[in-house]
Chain A
Amino acid sequence: EPEVTQTPSHQVTQMGQEVILRCVPISNHLYFYWYRQILGQKVEFLVSFYNNEISEKSEIFDDQFSVERPDGSNFTLKIRSTKLEDSAMYFCATGTGSKLQYFGPGTRLTVT
């Protein structure tokens, strides 16, 4: 069964550094999403992406965040200058445009 994959599984970085989280979507999916879950809190929507542009973004998704699909396969989330409060589990999800979204296993980001 096709799966969404994410790399790395765990990323440790120092405050102020840039990080790139990667996601490989299911091959025929056209809608892409990032969510995050701070430890002990809700899973929160960050951004959705379709047709090579952002469809919607949350208040969390400020200028420090960006997304792109650089090679038509990977879908990346970049945080330009990480803060301690960016420490969280980041989930990629992909879909065909129906209400169903398929999630990856997540990347745990730890900012020290």
Chain B
Amino acid sequence: GNSVTQMEGPVTLSEEAFLTINCTYTATGYPSLFWYVQYPGEGLQLLLKATKADDKGSNKGFEATYRKETTSFHLEKGSVQVSDSAVYFCALSDLPGGATNKLIFGTGTLLAVQP
């Protein structure tokens, strides 16, 4: 079945360091891919998305490219800030599983950025 695998955390970085959080997926067909972020005490917020191969999603300095050949959607940011400290979830939409588009998530990766 469809699944998402994320690198385990926690990831601890100094401010202004480069960030990569790896995400790979297994899916039939052509799913859409997402990164969600959860700040402490808050819900899951959509960070970025990509709906087809070679698409690059970007938001708030974060980027991820949909790589069909490697079934990956790695999250990157060139210079992290303390305010980026959160849990990051990679997810895919369960297509073509009907109209509900349920999401399948990875385990989440905790990012801690130190000043």
Contact = CB atoms under 8 A, between A and B. Distances in A.
B113 interface: no
A100 B80 CA distance: 26
A31 interface: yes
Given A33-B100, A56-B100, 17 more contacts: A4-B43, A6-B43, A31-B101, A35-B105, A43-B44, A43-B103, A43-B105, A45-B102, A91-B43, A91-B44, A93-B103, A99-B49, A101-B101, A101-B103, A103-B44, A105-B41, A105-B43
Interface string B39-50: 001111110010
A8 to B, nearest CB: 14
Instruction: Kindly state the interface size class of chain A when it binds its partner.
Output: 20 to 34
A6 B94 CA distance: 25
A31 B44 CA distance: 17
Interface residues of B, number: 27
A55 interface: yes
B88 interface: no
A48 B42 contact: no
- Rank and list the top 4 A-B pairs by shortest CB-CB distance, nearest first: A103-B44, A48-B100, A43-B105, A105-B43
Interface class of chain A by DSSP: strand
B94 to A, nearest CB: 8
Contacts of B46: 100-102
Nearest to B41: A105
A3 to B, nearest CB: 8
Given A4-B43, A43-B105, A103 B36 contact: yes
Contacts of A102: 46
28 contacts: A4-B43, A6-B43, A33-B102, A35-B105, A41-B107, A42-B108, A43-B103, A43-B108, A44-B105, A45-B104, A48-B102, A55-B98, A56-B100, A91-B44, A93-B44, A95-B101, A97-B99, A99-B32, A99-B34, A99-B101, A100-B46, A101-B46, A101-B103, A103-B36, A103-B43, A104-B43, A105-B42, A106-B43
